[in-house]
Amino acid sequence: MLCPVCQKATIVIEYKCIELDYCTECHGVWFDAGELGLLLKSLGVESQKLPVESLLDTPEPDHKEKHHRCPICWQKMRKVALGEDLPTIDACRRGDGLWFDGGELARLLGELATVPASPSPQQQITDFLRDVFQCTQSAPRTT
């Protein structure tokens, strides 16, 4: 899949049985339909503050940010304001998925974590990504 922001190829990372498309260039994350809800549930940060099922029903905010194209259907995505203290993300109008620019997912998880877990959901994902990339980088080269 190509990143909707920088048009570089994303990599697929499996986290808690959820396949995330991650851009190593701009650090954005693509969630196919339904995957964000699965991630939040697996991290124990489900919240009334973020009704994942009805994100496309929310009014589009007046936002100056560029509208990206969905990496699945190539239609222009709409902006979705997740809440007052939450980031504004991109959502496919057909419901193919959601795009989080670099840092937006960590910000969302930080806001939704009401009880400090050990480690926090944000830290769990950060640690996981660090482990994945350290394993890749430290793997011995064969010539």
DSSP string, 63-94: --SPPPBPTTT-PBPEEEE--TTS-EEEE-TT
Looking at per-residue confidence, does 43 or 137 come out higher? 43
Q: Is residue 6 assigned to a domain?
A: no
Interacting residues of 139 by C-beta distance below 8 A, sequence separation 6+: none
Q: Is the pLDDT of residue 136 over 50?
A: no
Are the CB atoms for 35 and 25 separated by under 8 Å? no
Domain count, the chain: 1
- Structural domain boundaries enclosing 61: 11-138
Per the domain annotation, does 4 fall within a domain? no
CA nearest neighbour of 28 among 122, 130, 98, 79: 98
Confidence band, pLDDT 50/70/90 cuts, at residue 140:
very low
Q: What does the pLDDT read at residue 135? A: 42
Task: Determine the Cα–Cα distance for residues 104 and 118; give it in Å rounded to an integer.
Answer: 21
* Structure confidence at residue 83 as a pLDDT band (50, 70, 90): confident
User: What pLDDT shows up at residue 85?
Assistant: 77
Determine the average pLDDT of the residues in 59-64: 71
pTM of the model: 0.75
| Residue 5 in domain | no
Give the per-residue pLDDT at 119. Answer: 64
Instruction: Tell me whether residue 3 is in a domain.
Output: no
What six digits make up the tokens of 8?
């570089």
